[in-house]
Amino acid sequence: MYNAPRAATVRASADSTTWVIHRSTYRRVVKDVSALRLQEHAAFLKTVSLLAPLTSYEREKLAESLEEVVFPPNSKIFEQGSEG
């Protein structure tokens, strides 16, 4: 991936089939997925009324910094009075 020597050895413990993807193809796929996720985040932020005063550029920059976190149902995300 990074045009560097292998960092690990992999040995098959049974007859196996290995699939290979070229580095440029992998990078293109990762880039496309990242661009799609950015568009989804920017579209979501556009629906948040609190962020309406922001310009499209500002919302896009905010979308770039979002990190998706999944919480189980009924879990406490923030607690009133906590620091942070």
Q: Express each pLDDT in 19-44 by its tens digit.
A: 999 989 999 999 999 999 999 999 99
Residue appearing with tokens 């579209």: 43
pLDDT classification of 1: cutoffs 50, 70, 90: low
Per the domain annotation, does 18 fall within a domain? no
Per the domain annotation, does 79 fall within a domain? no
pLDDT classification of 5: cutoffs 50, 70, 90: confident
Per the domain annotation, does 7 fall within a domain? no
The secondary structure of 10-78, three-state, reads CCCCCCCCCCCCCHHHHHHHHHHHHHHHHHHHHHHHHCCHHHCCCCHHHHHHHHHHCCCCCCCCCCCCC
Per the domain annotation, does 80 fall within a domain? no
Per the domain annotation, does 82 fall within a domain? no
Phi, psi torsion values for 62, nearest 5 degrees: -65, -40
pTM of the complete model: 0.60
Domain count across the chain: 1
Domain of 31, in residue numbers: 23-65
The answer to whether residue 54 scores a pLDDT higher than 80 is yes
